[in-house]
């Protein structure tokens, strides 16, 4: 019994050893392993930074109202139709009318008040004319009184001289003296009347000034009321297209500290821009004048061009993610001609109206490009074979190399007689799919391994896609 047990153990060990030897030597010869390769080729490479944004008209005018009231009716656009969405308008086109009876009544009240104050001015000026005439009359009376006084003074002087010679009776002398005194007293009275008349004239002239001031005030109030009445007619102050109508007929609008918005007018829908959101980690690679390409969901097969026109400084912070807004001016000449656009209408901007406000745009900002350089697939740089498939251990670079040099070192593999030979390379720019080879023993046309497949198993193309990628250079996605 022990003899048979010993023989069984020996047989098991022999078979197990043979199987292990077969597994090791068979695999070392690449048995059951097929390598997938792609050639190293020359070509152009473009590195980009991605972003998303919203299409906006370059110039948008928000039309509001400065008065409160009921929307009575809409105006008519330049197309002869009632104002609505997409209505073309010109400067001065009536967009809507607010019920204005209250404001019209107020303006009429101010107009009546103005007429009343103007009548007061006329009356006051008439009184001035009468006062001037009266002043002239009393001044003439004063002159007559002064003349009589002068004559009586001379008579009185002669009477006194005749008294000494006895040529005048006492009665005549008394009469001359009385006339002298009366006439001089009359001059004093006339002077007082003149002063009183001048004062009255001044009062009347002051009344004219007050009346004229009241007229100026009434005119100002009327002008204000007429302006307010004019606000009841909402007009466009630019030529453009209505892109949003925010009120309906019969709706009451209220004007308070914030002017309510009634219409949104785009001055020129042929000129569009994109407000793009760019992460703070990428904003350093964005510059004014930088070329941009973008697509919109409405035309997935079309590509449009643009140029960075402005980088805003007021970033937003949401959940600790800092995002900057970048404005991109569009240029429709970049896109393929849409089927419904005549070729003679294609020009800079958005002449065909294909790009509509508020479309979502997926953008690529051109960061850097290379022309006629060696390119390898990124899958070749990510591929890591098992050690038993290698001809020899992969050579290692200098340990004291700088951080940038380490980051730009990579390894690719080429097949030789069922085994793999490692080739160290220095990488450059990448677009996320292909990577530039700056240096390394890798002639154009060399077939580099991008993956492997084993009999009865799924193909292995690279490492875990969630693991850090080696040799990718500066990825600009």
Q: Does the structure show a pLDDT above 70 at 416?
A: yes
Q: Is the same domain home to 130 and 249?
A: no
Mean pLDDT of the chain: 80
- Can you give the C-alpha Rg of the chain in angstroms? 52
Query: Distance between the two ends of the chain, CA-based, in angstroms?
Result: 73
120 and 165 assigned to the same domain: yes
Q: Are residues 223 and 312 in the same domain?
A: no
- Other beta carbons less than 10 A from residue 244's beta carbon: 16
The predicted structure's pLDDT at residue 350: 61
Both 165 and 93 in a single domain?
no
CB 316 within 8 A of CB 323: yes
Q: What percent of the chain stands above pLDDT 90? A: 41
- Here the CATH number for the domain that contains residue 91 is 2.40.50.100
Shared-domain flag, residues 328 and 377: no
Tally of domains within the chain: 4
Please write down the HEC assignment for all residues of the chain.
CHHHHHHHHHHHHHHHHHHHHHHHHHHHCCCCEEEEEEECEEEEEEEEEEEEEEEEECCEEEEECCCCEEEEEECECCCCCECCCCCEECCCCEEEEECCHHHHHHHHHHHHHHHHHHHHHHHHHHHHHHHHHHHHHHHHHHHHHHHHHHHHHHHHHHHHHHHHHCCCCHHHHHHHHHHHHHHHHHHHHHHHHHHHHHHHHHHHHHHHHHHHHHHHHHHHHHHHHHHHHHCCEEECCCCEEEEEECCCCCCEECCCCCCCEEEEEECCCCCEEEEEEEECCCHHHCCCCCEEEEEECCEEEEEEEEEEEEECCCCEEECCEEEEEEEEEEEHHHCCCCCCCCHHHCCCCCCCCCCCCCCEEEEEEEEEEEEEEEEEEHHHHHCCCCHHHECCCCCCCCCCCCHHHHHCEEEEEEEECCEEEEEEEEEEEECCCEEEEEEECCCCCCEEEEEEEECCCCCECCCCCCCCCCCCCEECC
Inside any domain, residue 4: no
Among 319, 353, 369, the domain boundary falls at 369
CB atoms within 10 A of CB 375: 23
Q: Give yes or no for residue 319 having a pLDDT over 60.
A: yes
Residue 269 CB coordination number (10 Å): 19
d(CA 333, CA 98): 44
Q: Which two tokens stand for residue 259?
A: 């002017």
Is the residue at 155 inside a domain?
A: yes
Residue 1 is assigned to a structural domain of this protein: no
Q: What is the mean pLDDT of residues 202-217?
A: 88
Which of 89, 100, 91 lies closest to 227 in space, CA to CA? 100
Same domain flag for 291 and 303:
yes
pLDDT tens, 324-360? 999 999 865 444 434 444 433 333 456 567 888 999 9
Is 6 a member of any domain?
no
φ and ψ at residue 69, rounded to 5 degrees: 165, -175
Q: Residue 80 is part of which domain span?
A: 60-99+233-266
- Where residue 178 falls (left for φ over 0; alpha for ψ -120 to 50; beta otherwise) is alpha
For residues 364 and 409, membership in a common domain is answered with: no
Is pLDDT above 60 for 462? no
Asked if residue 2 belongs to a domain, the reply is no
pLDDT of 471: 36
Let me know if 445 is exposed, middle or buried by CB neighbors in 10 A (0-12, 13-18, 19+). exposed
The string of pLDDT tens digits covering residues 235-272 is: 999 999 999 999 999 998 887 656 678 999 998 888 88
| 18 occurs within a structural domain | no
Q: Which two tokens stand for residue 343?
A: 């070729």
> What's the average model confidence in pLDDT over 215-229?
94
150 and 202 co-located in one domain: yes
Whether 400 maps to a domain, the answer reads yes
pLDDT for position 236:
93
pLDDT at residue 104 greater than cutoff 80: yes
Residue range 186-206: mean pLDDT, rounded:
85
Name the pLDDT band for 52 (thresholds 50, 70, 90). very high
Higher pLDDT, 255 or 141: 141
CA distance 98 to 253: 9
- Domain co-membership, 445 together with 379: yes
Find the mean pLDDT for residues 20-32: 44
Kindly report, residue by residue over 378-408, the tens digit of the pLDDT.
Answer: 999 999 998 888 886 545 544 444 555 566 7
Answer with the one of 211, 243, 266 that is the final residue of a domain. 266
Weakest mean pLDDT among 29-33, 81-85, 355-359, 373-377? 29-33
pLDDT, position 155: 80
Same domain for 107 and 223, yes or no, is yes
pLDDT at 121 over 50: yes
Number of Cβ within a 10 Å radius of residue 464: 7
Higher pLDDT, 468 or 290: 290
- Non-local CB neighbours of 86 within 8 Å, separated by 6+ positions: 241, 242, 243
94, 240: one domain: yes
What CATH number is given to the structural domain containing 390?
Answer: 2.40.420.20
Question: In terms of Cα–Cα distance, which of 404, 426, 424, 402 is closest to 413?
Answer: 424
- In this prediction, residue 458 carries a pLDDT of 55
Q: Specify whether the CB–CB gap between 117 and 209 falls below 8 A.
A: no
Range 301-329 average pLDDT: 91
pLDDT for 75 beyond 60: yes
Which of 64-78, 384-398, 418-432 comes out lowest in average pLDDT?
A: 384-398
Does 93 map to a domain?
yes
Whole-number pLDDT of residue 81: 94
Confidence check: pLDDT of 65 > 80: yes
Higher pLDDT, 274 or 58: 274
Shared domain for 111 and 209, answered yes or no, is yes
The half-sphere exposure of 425 on its side-chain side, counting CA atoms within 13 A, is: 30
């Amino acid at each position: 019994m022990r003899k048979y047990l010993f023989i069984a153990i020996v047989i098991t060990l022999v078979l197990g050893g043979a199987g292990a030897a077969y597994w090791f030597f068979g695999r070392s010869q690449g048995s059951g392993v097929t390598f997938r390769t792609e050639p190293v080729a020359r070509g152009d490479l473009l590195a980009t930074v991605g972003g998303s944004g919203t299409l906006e008209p370059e110039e948008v005018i928000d039309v509001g109202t400065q008065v409160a009231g009921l929307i009575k009716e809409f105006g008519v656009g330049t197309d002869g139709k009632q104002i609505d969405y997409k209505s073309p308008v010109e400067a001065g086109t009536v967009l809507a009318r607010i019920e204005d009876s209250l404001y019209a009544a107020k303006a009429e009240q101010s107009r009546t008040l103005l007429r009343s104050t103007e009548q007061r001015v006329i009356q006051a000026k008439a009184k001035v004319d009468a006062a001037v005439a009266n002043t002239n009359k009393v001044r003439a009376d004063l002159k007559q009184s002064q003349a009589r006084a002068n004559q009586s003074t001379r008579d009185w002087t002669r009477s006194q001289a005749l008294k000494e010679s006895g040529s005048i009776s006492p009665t005549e002398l008394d009469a001359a003296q009385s006339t002298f005194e009366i006439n001089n007293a009359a001059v004093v009275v006339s002077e007082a009347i003149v002063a009183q008349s001048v004062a009255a004239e001044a009062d009347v002239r002051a009344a004219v000034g007050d009346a004229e001031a009241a007229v100026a005030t009434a005119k100002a109030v009327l002008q204000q009321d007429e302006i307010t009445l004019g606000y009841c007619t909402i007009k466009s102050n630019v030529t453009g297209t209505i892109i949003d109508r925010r009120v309906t007929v019969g709706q009451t609008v209220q004007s308070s500290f914030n002017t309510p918005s009634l219409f949104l007018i785009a001055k020129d829908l042929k000129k569009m821009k994109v407000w793009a959101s760019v992460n703070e980690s990428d904003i350093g690679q964005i510059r004014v004048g930088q070329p941009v390409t973008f697509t919109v969901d409405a035309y997935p097969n079309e590509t449009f061009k643009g140029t960075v026109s402005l980088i805003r400084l007021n970033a937003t912070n949401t959940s600790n993610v800092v995002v900057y807004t970048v404005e991109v001016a569009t240029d429709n000449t970049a896109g393929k001609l849409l089927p419904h656009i005549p070729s003679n209408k294609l020009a800079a901007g958005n002449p065909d109206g294909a790009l509509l406000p508020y479309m979502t745009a997926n953008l690529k900002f051109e960061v850097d490009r290379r022309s006629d350089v060696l390119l390898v697939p990124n899958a070749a740089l990510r591929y890591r074979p098992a050690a038993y498939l290698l001809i020899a251990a992969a050579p290692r670079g200098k340990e004291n190399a700088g951080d940038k040099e380490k980051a730009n070192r990579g390894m690719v593999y080429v097949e030789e007689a069922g085994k793999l030979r490692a080739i160290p390379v220095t990488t450059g720019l990448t677009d996320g799919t292909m990577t530039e080879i700056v240096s390394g023993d890798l002639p154009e046309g060399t077939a580099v391994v991008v993956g492997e497949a084993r009999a009865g198993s799924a193909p292995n193309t690279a490492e875990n896609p969630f693991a850090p990628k080696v040799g990718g250079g500066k990825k600009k996605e």
